[in-house]
A = this chain, B = another copy of it.
Amino acid sequence: MTTRTRHEPLNGVDTQALLSTVDAVKATPSLAAFQFRAVNRWVTGTHSRSEIRGFYGAGREDVTRFEDFVCEADHPAVLVGTGKAPTPVEFLLHALAACLTAGLVNVAAVRGVKLTEVEASVEGDIDLRGILGLSEEVRNGYQGLRVGFRIRGDAPEEVLRGLVERSRSRSAVYDVLTTGVPVEIDVTTG
């Protein structure tokens, strides 16, 4: 493990900016209030499309993301869709891997660990008897998720493992997926 100052950019992370962000929020806690949004529109059958761009954070509407991101979702043929896009449940796997990875890369930068490879394979099991209404004992969602990380960097094994552990302990997606979140649904018709 090479010795570095804490402030040197590393792993593509502007470490100084990261530490400054933490200090700014510490000084002005209202900057910590964020709101993220997506608007999804039905296309046909099980196919839909979300637009994602605007969010509120750090005391204002963000204007640094210039174009809408477009994400589609669909069921595969075996679930009566057309397979034009990932299923909604697969996006949960992507969100989990991406959140844990972004976090551990940031932590590595602050700890002075240079990473060369991070790969996360995620899988989840679902018993469809829940969704299909065929069993009251079977839940609708995943019964369990497994994440397999492969990490390479210029640090001993226990340091690399510590990056994942620290990221897990501060991951927004891991928290939501393991603990749950209240969801309110309103409907307007006509």
List residues of chain A with CB under 8 Å of any chain B CB: 11-14, 17-18, 21-22, 25-26, 29, 31-48, 50, 52, 55, 57-58, 62, 64-65, 69, 71, 73-81, 83, 85-103, 105-106, 115, 117-134, 138-152, 157, 160-161, 164, 168, 170-190
Contact = CB atoms under 8 A, between A and B. Distances in A.
Contacts of A25: 128-129, 132, 134
Given A40-B120, A97-B40, A178 B183 contact: yes
Q: Chain A contact residues: over half helix, strand or loop, or mixed?
A: mixed
A137 to B, nearest CB: 12
Contacts of A147: 183-186
Given A37-B122, A64-B76, A88-B95, A12 B44 contact: yes
B21 A80 contact: yes
A112 to B, nearest CB: 16
A32 B185 contact: no
Contacts of A173: 88-89, 92, 141
A179 B139 contact: yes
